Amino acid sequence: MEFLEAPPLPFYFTPEHEQFRAGLREFVSREITPFVAEWDEAETFPRELYARAASLGVQGLGYPEAYGGTPADVFFQLIVAEEFARCGGGGLQASLNSHSIALPPILHAGSEALKQRVIPPVLAGEKIAALAVTEPSGGSDVAALRTTAVRDGDHYVVNGEKTFITSGMRADFITTAVRTDPAIKGAGGISVLLIDGDTPGLTRTALKKMGWWSSDTAHLRFDGCRVPAANLVGVENKGFKTFMNNFNTERLFMSALACGFAEVCLKEAVDWTRQRISFGMPLSERQVVRHKLMDMTLRIDAARTLVYDLAYRIEHKLADPARLVARVCLAKVQATQAMQFCADQSVQLLGGMGYMRGTQSERIYREVKVMMIGGGSEEVMKDLAARQLGL
């Protein structure tokens, strides 16, 4: 299957990148892939996996050494996405890497005391961090959030609900979007508040899902939660931009992840069609099957090329912010559409086996929609891109 592996490009991936990739690939192959189906059925995975990933340096990538991290460029993050995708289990990577969307607001806008208290134990795999933005009434419309945090002396009193929260059941720290000035509508009046998982008044309910079974996904309810004012991240009423910047990084990571899952489907389809004998010959020798495999390859290559180009532009500051946001949104659309196409085609080529639990393609087929919706649905992405481009 050599045609599936594009040679590394030196202006994207250095020898240091590839050395890290090799170590992570071996870790995923040994510690994760053999157990993905079992953990999916159990709807959980061992908590100690966080610490094992941290010992490899995965959790701390991109964070300052002062907090236990390792400074790294955006291509290291793409490697994390690509290599975790090889296990074929989206739920596992979603929860294991939930800190990647929960910690950046604290790193970029939190007080030094908050950074020192939260970031080191999460990067060490000792604590778990989650991001809580989405609400039952708002979805991707962050500016419409209703969860309130009203100042009362040296605390905020938080009331409201969050839903679809990855790592919501396990999280020790929850980076939460709240409205600190209910009189201000829209994007104004929104703040970032770090809520500890053991805060009285916080209740959590596990959610059942189409896919991502091994990921703990929760509905959170805040009922008079008293949160220290010192847990405010950044400036009160100015948190909207912090969340928007956070989404941009998340979407690029999801784009790389989607390309990786699409490639897993392609590889499984290639293996199956080479082995499956139908009417006296391998399926892979039939023209209609070969066309399907090349259609899958084409979509993966197109999406991944766009992702790498954007990563290079981000790393070298070669694009203006508005156009960058627009292209990242479109990259997520392109990559998740490639994932959807490849999952569908692979299940079709596997036939009855593709419908059976246990194949990677079946699992990825169920998980396509969360990738197309999470971080902003396809419709939201296209509309946001158009607005960023002045259309």
| 373 token code pair | 């919706």
Contacts of 383 (CB under 8 A, 6+ apart): none
Query: What gap in Å lies between CA 269 and CA 292, rounded to an integer?
Result: 10
Check 82, 236, 250, 268 and give the catalytic one. Answer: 250
Active-site residue, 362 included: no
Contacts of 372 (CB under 8 A, 6+ apart): 336, 337, 340, 378
| 92 token code pair | 């596992």
| 309 token code pair | 């180009």
Report in angstroms the alpha-carbon separations of 200 from 111, 218, 221, 337: 23, 17, 11, 42
CB atoms within 10 A of CB 214: 24
Report in angstroms the alpha-carbon separations of 231 from 114, 149, 159, 228, 386: 7, 12, 16, 6, 36
HSE at residue 66, side-chain half, CA atoms within 13 A, is 7
N- to C-terminal Cα separation, the chain: 43
Contacts of 84 (CB under 8 A, 6+ apart): 24, 28, 32, 92, 93, 96, 97, 257, 260
Query: What gap in Å lies between CA 253 and CA 82, rounded to an integer?
Result: 9
Contacts of 272 (CB under 8 A, 6+ apart): 283, 349, 350, 353
282, containing H or E segment:
strand 281-282
Using an 8 Å Cβ cutoff, are 148 and 182 in contact?
yes
227, containing H or E segment:
strand 217-228
DSSP assignments along 179-216, one per residue: ES-TTS-TTTTEEEEEEETT-TTEEEEE---SS-TTS-
Active site amino acids:
250
